[in-house]
């Protein structure tokens, strides 16, 4: 019989996942450690790590002698040193698709809120400042949305917006055209996307290839009434370029859920842009999505505990 495992959990996680492992593992929260040094001194007892946004560094992996698997509670793995894990024979797997609908609905919410001046009108109404003409928005119907990234969330956005009469163009060199909804067509070059789109929603992971991929040239190619939405990762969009466009009025607005520095500093110039709508990196963390991701991450741990290979393994070389 396989021995019981010790599993390190993120500071906050829906209990459904850890509870499902009760028969095979003992779980400890990362919040139980005073700091990273205390965790490093104790991490060698863990067989599995479930992580959300907390970094899983090369140093942490090197100190975890019993570690077999890192389960990402979510899709993006820019906080996990996959190379270090692979070198140590540690499987890294994520939970794509479990928060797809949550991210997509949030992206559409930000797009609509920015286009219809919802936040500014709400604030003015609460202050007794009644000026309807200042908050006229624009319809989505008949417009073209650019999808910078057409993975699970991007495709779901396209499906949701088909009901608004929105067509989509997408740039994603890794997507199979056969997987795209009927209202989406692919372009071969990022700048073509921005030149053809009326609005853009960003759904690309943060990698060396995508860092600041949406910069001044791309934002500058959008029409003056465009809204740029980012629910992916802050570093994909060059925030300086976005701030400049919002200040100069070369685009109409933005919906921002993710930032290059999180949380952003109080004096971050982006937060001074009145035409932008902001949330707190919570596009993918609806109550439903958190339960789904917790359960899926626990499933990854159980699969490895039972000697299997998770379907979402990102570093199959680790198995060699």
Nearest to 174 by CA among 149, 152, 192, 155: 149
How far is 22 from 5, CA to CA, in rounded Å?
A: 10
The phi and psi torsions of 287 (rounded to 5 degrees) equal: -55, -40
- What are the DSSP E strand ranges found in 61-197? 69-72, 91-93, 144-148, 167-171, 184-186
How far is 144 from 164, CA to CA, in rounded Å?
A: 11
How far is 293 from 223, CA to CA, in rounded Å?
A: 37
Cα angle: 287, vertex 111, 204; to 5 degrees: 75
Using N-to-C axis directions, what is the helix angle for 100-115 and 118-126, rounded to 10°? 60
Q: Which residues of 262-289 are buried (b: 16+ CB within 10 A; e: fewer)?
A: eebeeeeebeebebbbeeebebbbbeeb
A 10 A CB-CB count for 193 gives: 25
- End-to-end, the C-alpha distance of the chain in Å comes to 24
Confirm whether 233 is a catalytic residue: yes
Using N-to-C axis directions, what is the helix angle for 287-305 and 100-115, rounded to 10°? 150
Nearest to 166 by CA among 147, 187, 179, 189: 147
Q: Which of 73, 143, 155, 233 is catalytic?
A: 233
Q: Which of 182, 217, 248, 262 is catalytic?
A: 262
Confirm whether 281 is a catalytic residue: yes
Q: Per the structure block, which two tokens stand in for 303? A: 């699969």
Confirm whether 305 is a catalytic residue: no
The set of catalytic residues is: 233, 262, 281
């Amino acid at each position: 019989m396989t021995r019981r495992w010790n599993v390190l959990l993120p500071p906050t996680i829906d209990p459904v996942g850890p509870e499902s492992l009760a028969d095979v593992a003992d779980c400890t929260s990362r919040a139980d450690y005073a700091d990273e040094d205390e965790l490093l001194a104790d991490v060698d007892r863990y067989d599995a790590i479930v992580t959300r946004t907390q970094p899983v560094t090369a140093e942490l992996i090197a100190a975890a002698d019993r570690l077999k698997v890192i389960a990402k509670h979510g899709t993006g793995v820019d906080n996990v040193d996959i190379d270090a894990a692979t070198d140590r024979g540690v499987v890294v797997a994520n939970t794509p698709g479990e928060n797809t609908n949550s991210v997509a609905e949030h992206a559409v919410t930000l797009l609509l809120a920015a286009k219809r001046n919802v936040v500014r009108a709400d604030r003015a109404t609460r202050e007794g400042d009644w000026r309807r003409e200042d908050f006229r928005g624009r319809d989505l119907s008949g417009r073209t949305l650019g999808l910078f990234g057409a993975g699970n969330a991007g495709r779901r956005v396209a499906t949701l917006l088909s009901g608004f009469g929105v067509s989509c163009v997408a740039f994603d060199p890794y997507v199979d055209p056969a997987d795209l909804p009927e209202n989406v067509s692919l372009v071969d070059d990022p700048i073509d996307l921005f030149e053809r789109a009326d609005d853009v929603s960003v759904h690309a992971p943060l990698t060396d290839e995508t860092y600041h991929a949406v910069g001044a040239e791309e934002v500058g190619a959008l029409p003056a009434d465009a809204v740029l939405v980012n629910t992916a990762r802050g570093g994909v969009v060059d925030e300086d370029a976005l701030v400049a466009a919002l200040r100069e009025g070369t685009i109409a607005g933005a919906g921002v859920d993710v930032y290059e520095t999180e949380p952003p500093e109080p004096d971050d110039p982006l937060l001074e842009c009145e035409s932008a709508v902001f949330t707190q990196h919570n596009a993918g963390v609806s109550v439903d999505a958190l339960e789904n991701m917790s359960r899926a991450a626990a499933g990854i741990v159980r699969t490895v505990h039972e000697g299997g290979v998770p379907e979402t393994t990102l570093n199959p070389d680790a198995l060699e």
